[in-house]
Amino acid sequence: MTVTETPTKHGLDRIGGDPTMLSDPPAARQLVEQLIVTVAAWKGGVGKTELAKELAWLLDAVLIDFDWDHGNATRAWGYRHEARTNAPLIDAVLNGRTPRPLSGGAARPDLVPCHPDWVHNQPESEQLAAQIQRWSAEWRRPIVLDTHPGGGEATYAAIGVANVILVPVLLETRPLEALEGMVEELRGYPIMIVPNMIAAAPANMVKWLSRISETYQVPVTSTVGAYSWLGQRQLRMAVSARTPIPARSRTYVDEVKTIAAEAIEFALRNQKEESR
């Protein structure tokens, strides 16, 4: 099978510029240039990185990786800091410069890679937030930020600048507890909950999730299924970058596209409310 680049003229073409997915395509096109989506969760292993890299590809966004641990998006992308002499993210932040994203070409999102030293080299969150906003204005492209589990300066910066904060959650006790703590702490932020790895939906867990959503007024996106092949994948490329999309991945790609559209709709709604 040959893998070819999906021609991209705009950051909405890959989610299917289908007007039925978006209520106001012209407004969405305008918004998406300055869109910042942060994927964060107080719980580890809930699917932040998988979602971030697919969304970044689908939106033709710059993926900025704030997670310094191995197993991060940077590593999955194929970037090895050991083979490099610089650390683009740290260099940019320390020198007050805008990083130049690495090109992902036909298969991966463009990337600002992380570095293990990021754990000790994060500026204070307000300063970093101002820098991200500058990068966004200069790039005129959407940004997807992937984060380390839990809080921390970089994560709070990423949360502070986001138009949409996507919080993946599993329908299990500890992830739901972590979710509840997070949305309670971050009241008033534009959070959407993303139920991930949903095979069965135990009624008590669904009820708990609904209660969290209602109590804190946080919307829940469509769900993402559980795909055992996803965790075993060794391909560097985004699943949604395959052309054609293999049969077994189609449902997953459709789910992620739907979530991309829901996130844009949410950001648009918030923008319209703010300008009222």
Contact status: 226 vs ligand ATP (CB under 6 A)? yes
Q: How far apart, in whole angstroms, are the C-alpha atoms of residue 155 and residue 61?
A: 18
Contacted by 197, from ligand ATP, Mg ion, none: CB < 5 to 8 Å by type: ligand ATP
What's 156-180 look like in SS3? HHHHHHCCEEEEEECCCHHHHHHHH
Phi, psi of 110 (to 5 degrees): -65, 150
Nearer to Mg ion, 13 or 69 (CB): 69
Alpha carbon of residue 122 to chain centroid: 20
Contact status: 45 vs ligand ATP (CB under 6 A)? yes
Only segment of 28-36, 89-97, 226-234, 259-267 that touches ligand ATP (CB under 6 A): 226-234
Only segment of 1-9, 14-22, 46-54, 192-200 that touches Mg ion (CB under 5 A): 46-54
**DSSP conformation class of 220:** B
Least distance from ligand ATP to the Cβ atom of residue 16, Å: 20
Place of tokens 């469509």: 222
Contacted by 122, from ligand ATP, Mg ion, none: CB < 5 to 8 Å by type: none
Residues numbered 47 to 66 that lie near Mg ion (CB under 5 A) are: 48-49
Is 150 within 8 Å of 186 (Cβ atoms)? no
Nearer to Mg ion, 70 or 276 (CB): 70
Contact status: 68 vs ligand ATP (CB under 6 A)? no
Contact status: 227 vs ligand ATP (CB under 6 A)? yes
Q: Residue 167 forms beta bridges with which residues?
A: 193
Contacted by 202, from Mg ion, ligand ATP, none: CB < 5 to 8 Å by type: none
Question: Which amino acid makes up residue 7?
Answer: P
Best CA proximity match to 32, nearest among 49, 48, 51, 17 = 17
Nearer to ligand ATP, 68 or 139 (CB): 68
- 61: tokens are 């966004």
| DSSP strands (E only) in 67-210 | 110-112, 143-146, 164-169, 191-195
Give the contact letters, 70-109, x = binds to ligand ATP (CB under 6 A), - = no.
Answer: -x--------------------------------------
Place of tokens 């030293």: 117
Is 76 within 8 Å of 112 (Cβ atoms)? no
Contacted by 230, from Mg ion, ligand ATP, none: CB < 5 to 8 Å by type: ligand ATP
Residues numbered 148 to 207 that lie near ligand ATP (CB under 6 A) are: 149, 196-197
Contacted by 145, from Mg ion, ligand ATP, none: CB < 5 to 8 Å by type: none
Q: Which of 56, 102, 111, 224 binds ligand ATP (CB under 6 A)?
A: 224
**DSSP conformation class of 193:** E
Phi, psi of 102 (to 5 degrees): -75, 140
Binding region for Mg ion (CB under 5 A): 48-49
Binding region for ligand ATP (CB under 6 A): 44-50, 67, 71, 149, 196-197, 224, 226-227, 230-231
